[in-house]
Chains A and B, each alone.
Chain A
């Protein structure tokens, strides 16, 4: 116990600060990805010819190993004259990484709505916009939320690497622990990161449950 007490007096404040940084990085990158991917996903269901290139690009980004993505963002930012270390490139890399699950799930979520239902909605006099808001989005919400949850969990993991380009977060403790072969430090970074992923997923699950229309929870 004494060991723990000492550890927390020494590192407690830092763990809290880095956890908060980690949360911010995740929330901003996933939030940005939601703001970009959901409207884009909807747009792609309207102009299906554009869907393959967009989804293809997002899939390609996803296949790049996460560490390598940070490595690719740095030269890109150098060319563009943007800051190459710190929060900005880290957020950008995380944002790119979070795009695909949300984009793909929005696209497939809306496309899986029964075409007969959409035709009926049109047939009783809904406009395209009303069909989107009143029929397509509510019916595809569970699928879209699943994409957001996947992106969030991935982002918490990938954000640990952001420490490598000086963006902070719990990765700092992990990497410092690795360099000094200090297990306590490694765990002090890894355990909160794992818990964070679980917590955020849990919160999103609750949001999903609250947003899912009641009739869709009815067992047929």
Chain B
């Protein structure tokens, strides 16, 4: 992460509330364009940490910097208008139309009307809602998933460099949630924002996070790329937290690149018309593929051309390898 410009930095931040320590000596940094997921069980301090970035909560010790400047040197409303904020569906204002909700921050910043209107339509498109049919509707008329899309659009409205998300998909059913997680991951890859995302769902963290910061009892337990955490848990708490999901997570976090062979020896003509996978698919995707289709070989397509193949044998070997790693790790 060295080459990345640092956007947010926590230095030995602590917080006590009514004599009890909510946060203890938390230090981490988030690079520009990076998504950091804060994860842990309820009460671990992840939301408190998040709310310190837009100063809804103030630390009682240590310091926080945004863009290399101490947080307390910012005018608080200016700071907040420059940071997108998404919370659970309750965060939309029920008395404002979708358009009004999305345009709050641009309005507060005094954007001209036409610029706001075209930005609202652009954002609705970006989050997969048809502007024509959603612009004038009210949150009460939308499904939970649609409300969350509007919430994301609102956070992006004034194009803030930093976005904070506090369990935005927490109140959604699993299917809607999974769809939105993948869409958000794609969107974030496109727009390159610095994101701090709070969740208690390790799969959500693995899908969305460039890095994960695992918290427990107000302390940071381990920070690292999702794959690092899953493969090298720092202590027994991390192992316990990952629990029975560890094996599935490592399937999710291993790219098929590791088992993709060149096309040298295969008959490309025989693979025409067979469903393919993208090069950045995961081993979990490959397993699901074998479950669905009765093929021994999966073509991997890049820009419409077959760039490699994945065979059932290779995948099986990889899965067995991962299983051994995890059996050893659990004991």
Q: Which residues of A contact B (CB under 8 A)?
A: 114, 116-117, 119-127, 130, 134-135, 138-139, 213-216, 218-220
Contacts and interface: CB of A to CB of B under 8 A. Distances in A.
A55 to B, nearest CB: 26
B218 interface: no
Given A123-B85, A125-B80, A130-B108, 17 more contacts: A117-B90, A119-B56, A123-B80, A124-B80, A124-B81, A124-B155, A125-B79, A134-B93, A134-B104, A139-B94, A139-B95, A213-B95, A214-B95, A215-B138, A215-B139, A218-B138, A219-B140
Contacts of B125: none
B143 to A, nearest CB: 11
Q: 6 smallest A-B Cβ distances: which pairs?
A: A215-B138, A213-B95, A125-B81, A125-B80, A218-B140, A120-B91
27 contacts: A116-B88, A116-B91, A117-B90, A117-B91, A117-B93, A119-B56, A120-B85, A120-B87, A122-B80, A123-B56, A123-B85, A124-B84, A125-B78, A125-B79, A125-B105, A125-B108, A126-B77, A126-B104, A139-B94, A214-B97, A215-B94, A215-B96, A215-B138, A215-B140, A218-B138, A218-B140, A219-B140
Nearest to A123: B85
B302 interface: no
Interface of B: 51, 54, 56, 77-81, 84-85, 87-88, 90-91, 93-97, 104-105, 108, 138-141, 154-155, 164
A218 B54 CA distance: 32
Contacts of A139: 93-95
A114 B89 CA distance: 12
A126 B108 CA distance: 8
Contacts, number: 71
Contacts of B51: 123
Contacts of B54: 123
Interface of B is mostly: helix
Contacts of A219: 140
Nearest to A141: B95
A114 B154 CA distance: 19
Contacts of A215: 93-97, 138-140
Nearest to B84: A124
B87 A135 contact: no
Contacts of A135: 93
A123 to B, nearest CB: 4
Contacts of B77: 125-127
A220 B90 contact: no
A85 to B, nearest CB: 47
B218 to A, nearest CB: 21
A216 B78 CA distance: 30
Nearest to B155: A124
Nearest to A219: B140
Given A123-B54, A125-B80, A216 B94 contact: yes
A116 B85 CA distance: 13
